[in-house]
Amino acid sequence: MALTNNPMAEPYKIKMVEPVKITTKEYREKVAKEAGYNTFLLRSEDVYIDLLTDSGTNAMSEYQWAGMMLGDEAYAGSKNYYFLENAMYECFGYKHLVPTHQGRGAENLVSQTLIKPGQYVPGNMYFTTTRAHQELQGGNFVDVIVDAAHDPYNTDPFKGNVDLQKFEDLIKKVGAENIAYITVGVTVNLAGGQPVSMANLKATGELARKHGIKVILDATRAMENAYYIKVRENGYENKSVKEILKEMCSHTDGATCSGKKDFHTNIGGFAACNDDEMALKMRNMVVLYEGLQTYGGMAGRDMEAMARGMLESCQDHVMAHRIAQSEYLGNKLIAAGIPIVLPIGGHGVFIDALKFYPHIPQEQYTAQSLANDLYVHAGVRSVERGTVSAGRNKDTGEEIRPKLETVRLAIPRRVYTQSHFDVVAEAVIDLYKNRDQARGLKMVYEPKYLRFFQARFEKL
Ligand SMILES: *Cc1c(COP(=O)(O)O)cnc(C)c1O
């Protein structure tokens, strides 16, 4: 099928371009300060290469754009909803779909439906919005990911796996009736985009089922995870991403999903499940928070674009290219001796800030400092995934100091070219050579919820 065996070669050509602004270092120093040294507070037009996130920053295809013109904007029963329902069933196989405006809308519905205050919610490492919704509902998040996930240099191919012993110990300790459900993230964003193996998903599902506990997949990057299973797990090399994805979901009871990642869209999300009663509850609640159960906060055209993107990205060669881009950037950094989380993640490259800036302690927000320095140096925007993102312990109020203090270079889908990645790599390498000059930060404004989005800092 392939004309080339280089998956880095784009399986698309460019039809429309968006010019970007070139700025000076003095200008970037000024705007970074104005933004409180928080890359979330920069203006997009001041950024040259934007690797803040791969969420909603994707380029849509002509097939998706054409679908936008077919939006059925009826308040109820839009035909785009039914197309989306079919696409979701074709790719994921869940019986019920509840559309939401984005992933966190689905997390809200699932948390409210399944968590009773005081219950425990284990998960394979936390994700910011997922945990926040669980805690808002009175749930207690418990990390049950394998230890390897917390070690940036452990090269286990499935570092996202659930540690079955930790899960079982929790069941023994608190009792299955006090566990709301288990969240399994595929891939695990904050561990560096690390996948979960099929064997682990199956075993997790079996253990949970034995105790009557539901498994809820965070399916946000499930297609990337399916691709990793194809190339890394024995017995899957001849199966398609689509077949693997369906098999993954068969070990779970439902899912929350951000449509802004793997589906090549700019907005959207859904909750899904097999249980009729759970679906009924979520459908009742969605009208309160998102919109009617046949649009969930999305315009008809957005549902159409998401459905089409879902079908497109569920193809082997699309995922092969996606993963090849992050590996290209990651391998350039590795070759220059830059400490990054291994194996290289699917949706981005994660720099180990504590090794990069060994003289800046975590109390001075090592990764936040590095993210800012990268912007000022080269106009490249990245994001902190360390102490600022981890927030505070909800009982003691103390800052959590995660073992992984990283800067994530997230890769939007179909947006940047090889030369852009070369620029990013050169900038990171330059900073590393001059790392002695870097200084830490102190936080001068801390919002109550998801503080990393709006916190402000000053240079020490
Ligand atoms: C982005 C993301 C979410 C939340 O989705 P939104 O669409 O941003 O609300 C949940 N889980 C993971 C793993 C994500 O990356």
pLDDT in tens, 394-415: 889 999 999 999 999 999 999 9
Q: Look-up: residue for tokens 């919610």? A: 121
Mean pLDDT of 243-267: 98
Using a 10 angstrom Cβ sphere, with 0-12 exposed, 13-18 middle and 19 or more buried, the burial of residue 399 is: middle
Does residue 82 form part of some domain?
yes
Domain with 146, as residue range(s), is 62-313
What is the average pLDDT score of the chain?
97
151 and 280 both lie in a single domain: yes
Q: Is 289 known to be catalytic?
A: no
Closest to 83 (Cα-Cα) out of 95, 67, 69: 67
The fraction of the chain above a pLDDT of 90, given in percent, is 97
Residue nearest to atom 8 of ligand 1 (CA): 103
The DSSP code sequence of 398-409 is PBP--S--EEEE
Decide: helix, strand or coil at residue 53. coil
Q: Is 75 known to be catalytic?
A: yes
Does residue 16 form part of some domain?
no
Does residue 297 form part of some domain?
yes
Does residue 367 form part of some domain?
yes
134 and 245 both lie in a single domain: yes
Among the three residues 313, 336, 362, which one is the final residue of a domain in this structure? 313
Distance 145 CA to ligand 1 centre (A): 18
pLDDT in tens, 320-370: 999 999 999 999 999 999 999 999 999 999 999 999 999 999 999 999 999
pLDDT in tens, 112-150: 999 999 999 999 999 999 999 999 999 999 999 999 999
Distance 99 CA to ligand 1 centre (A): 14
Does residue 244 form part of some domain?
yes
* pLDDT at 1 exceeding the cut of 80: no
297 and 417 both lie in a single domain: no
Among the three residues 250, 285, 313, which one is the final residue of a domain in this structure? 313
347 and 233 both lie in a single domain: no
* pLDDT at 251 exceeding the cut of 80: yes
- What pLDDT shows up at residue 3? 59
Distance 432 CA to ligand 1 centre (A): 30
429 and 380 both lie in a single domain: yes
Does residue 15 form part of some domain?
no
Catalytic residue among 12, 63, 75, 153: 75
Q: How many domains does the chain have?
A: 2
CA 146 to chain centre: 19
Q: Are 382 and 407 in contact (CB under 8 A)?
A: yes
Instruction: Give the integer Cα–Cα distance in Å for 419 and 93.
Output: 39
- What pLDDT shows up at residue 386? 95
Catalytic residue among 104, 261, 283, 451: 261
86 and 227 both lie in a single domain: yes
120 and 47 both lie in a single domain: no
pLDDT in tens, 358-376: 999 999 999 999 999 999 9
The fraction of the chain above a pLDDT of 70, given in percent, is 99
Q: Is 127 known to be catalytic?
A: yes
Q: Is 92 known to be catalytic?
A: no
Distance 102 CA to ligand 1 centre (A): 8
Q: What is the CATH number of the domain that holds 84?
A: 3.40.640.10
Does residue 290 form part of some domain?
yes
Ligand 1, pocket-test mutation among 104, 187, 225, 450, most atoms within 8 A of CB? 104
The DSSP code sequence of 131-169 is HHHHHHTT-EEEE-B-GGGG-TT---TTTT-B-HHHHHH
Residues in the ligand 1 pocket, defined by CB under 6 Å: 55, 102-104, 127, 129-130, 185, 189, 218, 220, 258, 260, 269
158 and 122 both lie in a single domain: yes
298 and 333 both lie in a single domain: no
Among the three residues 258, 291, 313, which one is the final residue of a domain in this structure? 313
Does residue 278 form part of some domain?
yes
Give the confidence band of 2 by pLDDT, cuts at 50, 70, 90. Answer: low
Count CA atoms closer than 13 A to 260's CA, side-chain side.
17
* pLDDT at 14 exceeding the cut of 70: yes
- What pLDDT shows up at residue 394? 83
304 and 248 both lie in a single domain: yes
Q: Is 452 known to be catalytic?
A: yes
- What pLDDT shows up at residue 5? 82
Residue nearest to atom 12 of ligand 1 (CA): 220
Q: Is 261 known to be catalytic?
A: yes
31 and 146 both lie in a single domain: no
Amino acid letter, residue 420 = H
The DSSP symbol for 46 reads: G
358 φ/ψ angles, rounded to the nearest 5 degrees: -65, -20
333 and 432 both lie in a single domain: yes
Q: Are 201 and 226 in contact (CB under 8 A)?
A: no
Distance 129 CA to ligand 1 centre (A): 7
Q: Is 33 known to be catalytic?
A: no
Ligand 1 nearest atom to the CA of residue 260, by list position: 7
Instruction: Give the integer Cα–Cα distance in Å for 215 and 207.
Output: 10
Q: What is the CATH number of the domain that holds 437?
A: 3.90.1150.10
pLDDT in tens, 64-107: 999 999 999 999 999 999 999 999 999 999 999 999 999 999 99
268 φ/ψ angles, rounded to the nearest 5 degrees: 130, 165
Instruction: Give the integer Cα–Cα distance in Å for 411 and 444.
Output: 30
H helix runs in 190-343, sequence order: 198-210, 222-232, 241-250, 276-289, 300-313, 316-335
Sign of the alpha-carbon dihedral angle for 112, 399, 258, 146:
negative
Catalytic residue among 218, 253, 302, 352: 218
- What pLDDT shows up at residue 330? 98
Residue nearest to atom 14 of ligand 1 (CA): 220
